Amino acid sequence: MEKSIVLRCRSPLWFVISTAFVFWCFLFYFNSSALRSSGNEYLYAFLFRGSKLLLVADNNHVEPVNQPFLMDDRVQPVVQLPGTVDLSEHSREDEPVKEPSIAQESTGIQAVSRVTIIENVEAKSSSNVSSAEDRVDQPGDKADSDTCSGRYIYVYDLPGRFNADILRDCLSLNLWTDMCKYLANFGLGPQLADSGRVFSSTSWYATDQFSLDVIFNSRMKQYECLTNDSSLASAIFVPFYAGLDVGRYLWRYNTSVRDSTSLALMKWLAERPEWKVLGGRDHFLLAGRTTWDFRRMTEEDSGWGNKLMFLPEAKNMTMLVIESSPLHRNDFAIPYPTFFHPKRDDEVFQWQNRMRRVKRRHLFSFVGAPRPSLSGSIRGKIIDQCLSSKGKCRLLNCDAGWKSCHSPSSVMKMFQNSVFCLQPPGDSYSRKSAFDSMLAGCIPVFFHPGSAYVQYLWHLPKDYTKYSVFISENDVKEGRVSIREKLLQIPNEEVRAKREEVIRLIPRLIYADSRSRLKTTEDAFDLTIKGVIDRVDRIRKEISDGVNSDIDYPEVYTWKYNLFGTVEKHDWDPFFPS
């Protein structure tokens, strides 16, 4: 067994690391690109075993860095699998101080005062269901012509502590960053100016990667088929800001504080008559961070995150996150928010056309930082390959060039100039960067099937070869593959077809502006609602047929079952714990 544990400290300052309980987890990489609201002040312990990275975070002894906007940083998953081994070994790593990136874009940012945000929030939270219902074809009118039939959603009116109050208290959401600004405009963040002609219309925002709680809720308020009669509803939405809630307690708070809102919510829900109908199995909830922030398996304060996903009520619900667990049934990944939030269909089409025409000077590019202390990380190898690619690769090294690395326009410009965009795992499997690069019509190159293929099944084609290139991280690690050669070998025809597919997927990966409505385009929100309703329909059918498909396969094979419909042996087995 190759064991190596690395403890990461994202603090610019050194801090003594106290203890890290290291659990068996599976590999997990972390990272993601843009805007990381929470800063990088974590301690991580990663343990690789074969290709599996086990990781643990110790969140009690970390000091913050003031860096709201990272193009590339990390989260800290703690995945503890049954039968985990405790290890306590650590090392530390210095990280360069990164600067808030948004400043670079400041000329383009619409000034948004806190007051404005609060007003927006209040306007939203007090707008009662009737506004949305003006547009709803109430069922019963004309049964046949009810376009909402089978699509109604009931949204709970939760006590303010579960949503509006959290947002109103936006100053406390992040220890180091004023999140108020990034949650303005109904979660889209400050508007970006098109200084370098990188963006199209006015619909570009410096969107934080963890702002989906607010974006999704705002969209839900405008959903065309809301009902206030839960018995008509195909699914029931719980508008809890789960991501913002845990985000404010990830560091320096004990487990009881971290769990308290989730526990209170479940207590509240379980008493509702709507809950009792199906034990919550028709309920869904969005938590706009990676699943690892909600899967703490220990009561120790050293464990990472809260235990929302493990609560019995949460196991009955459909839980939406930006990175799901390949090993669990109840969470479902939906795209990270990008910077583009169009108001009209033609903005989307124009953008797609522009990405078809744009001249791409670089064969491939990489935006990110190495993970020198993360043994098993291929980031260093990727950067080496990029640097020695004889001019075929462009690198935006997030360790060296923090400023441009955090600037949405620099990053988007580079993606637009590249044919392929490398998307290696970071601190977890997935990256916001993958979505930003596809938005720029750049073909993603993934190195781990957990980075996209076993997630986002409602949004991306199951046949990953249609829109991406897969290069096994093991081949990179062991120096068996030249990324440059591999990409050069792909025939032009195939490159064009992949790029066209990526561009075709763009609408599915963006979240439209909730203040307007797209007419013909289905965006990431629309597809998510469809996915949820299909799932709940299936659950209802199973309940009425008295069957339970959960027993068809062991839960750790969820990724395989979801993707292939079977749990037979597969080439990707070594990438996941079993």
Ligand X SMILES: *[C@@H]1O[C@H](CO)[C@@H](O)[C@H](O)[C@H]1NC(C)=O
Which residues bind to ligand X, rule: CB under 6 A? Answer: 126, 128-130, 133, 228-229, 254, 256-257, 270, 278-281, 312-313, 316
Tokens 């969470």 identify what position? 331
- How far apart CA 466 and CA 473 sit, in angstroms, is 20
Give 397's strand partners: 368
User: Tokens in use for 61?
Assistant: 């002894």
Q: How far is the CB of 517 from ligand X (least distance, A)?
A: 20
Cβ proximity to ligand X: between 256 and 578 the closer is: 256
CB 90 within 8 A of CB 3: no
We find the least distance from the C-beta atom of residue 280 to ligand X, in angstroms, to be: 5
Reduce the DSSP state of residue 173 to 3 states and report it.
coil
Nearer to ligand X, 301 or 526 (CB): 301
d(CA 393, CA 419): 10
Which C-beta is closer to ligand X: that of 245 or that of 313? 313
Cβ distance to ligand X smaller for residue 271 or 568: 271
CB of 526 to ligand X, least distance (A): 24
Q: Which is nearer to ligand X, 255 or 409 (CB)?
A: 255
DSSP states of 13-74 as a string? S--------B-------B---S--TTTT--EEEEEEETTEEEEEE--SS---------SS--
Between helix 432-439 and helix 408-416 the angle, nearest 10°, is 60
Interacting residues of 280 by C-beta distance below 8 A, sequence separation 6+ = 269, 270, 313, 316, 317
**Read out DSSP for 140-162?**
TS-GGG-TTTTT-EEE----GGG
191 three-state secondary structure: strand
Q: Which is nearer to ligand X, 265 or 322 (CB)?
A: 265
Q: How far is the CB of 86 from ligand X (least distance, A)?
A: 21
Are 243 and 249 in contact, with CB atoms under 8 Å apart?
A: no
CB of 415 to ligand X, least distance (A): 43
Q: Degrees (nearest 5) of the Cα angle 268, 273, 275? A: 65
- Cβ proximity to ligand X, 209 vs 316, nearer residue: 316
Which pair of structure tokens corresponds to residue 399?
């360790």
CB of 235 to ligand X, least distance (A): 15
- Could you tell me if 366 and 398 are in contact, meaning their C-beta atoms sit under 8 angstroms apart? no
Q: Is the Cβ of residue 128 or residue 353 nearer to ligand X in the bound state? A: 128
Q: Which amino acid is at 458?
A: W
Q: Which residue is nearest to ligand X (CB)?
A: 279
Nearer to ligand X, 242 or 442 (CB): 242
Smallest separation (angstroms) from ligand X to the CB of 528? 22
Please name the residues in contact with 9: beta carbons below 8 A apart, sequence gap of 6 or more.
Answer: 15, 17, 41, 42, 43, 62, 92, 93, 94, 95
Return the number of the residue (130 or 195) whose C-beta is nearest ligand X. Answer: 130
Least separation in angstroms between residue 141's CB and ligand X is 13
**Shortest Å, Cβ 254 to ligand X:** 4
Measured from the CB atom, the residue of 280 and 450 that comes closer to ligand X is: 280
Nearer to ligand X, 186 or 576 (CB): 186
Q: How far is the CB of 502 from ligand X (least distance, A)?
A: 40
Smallest gap from Cβ 16 to ligand X, in A, equals 21
Choice between 58 and 323, CB closer to ligand X: 58
Cα angle 475, 481, 486; round to 5: 125
CA dihedral 551, 557, 561, 563 (to 10 degrees): 160
Distance (Å, rounded) from C-alpha 319 to C-alpha 157?
Answer: 18
Instruction: Output the smallest distance, CB 539 to ligand X, in A.
Output: 9
In this structure, how many other beta carbons lie within 10 angstroms of the beta carbon of residue 102? Answer: 24
Residue 517, SS3 per DSSP: coil
Q: Among 238, 243, 264, 240, which residue's Cα sits nearest to residue 155?
A: 238
**Helix axis angle, 492-509 relative to 432-439, nearest 10°?**
110
Pairing between β-strand 52-57 and β-strand 43-49 as defined by DSSP bridges: antiparallel
147 vs 254, beta carbon nearer ligand X: 254
Phi-psi category of residue 50: left, alpha or beta, with phi > 0 → left and psi -120 to 50 → alpha: left
CB 330 to ligand X: min, Å: 11
Q: How far is the CB of 481 from ligand X (least distance, A)?
A: 46
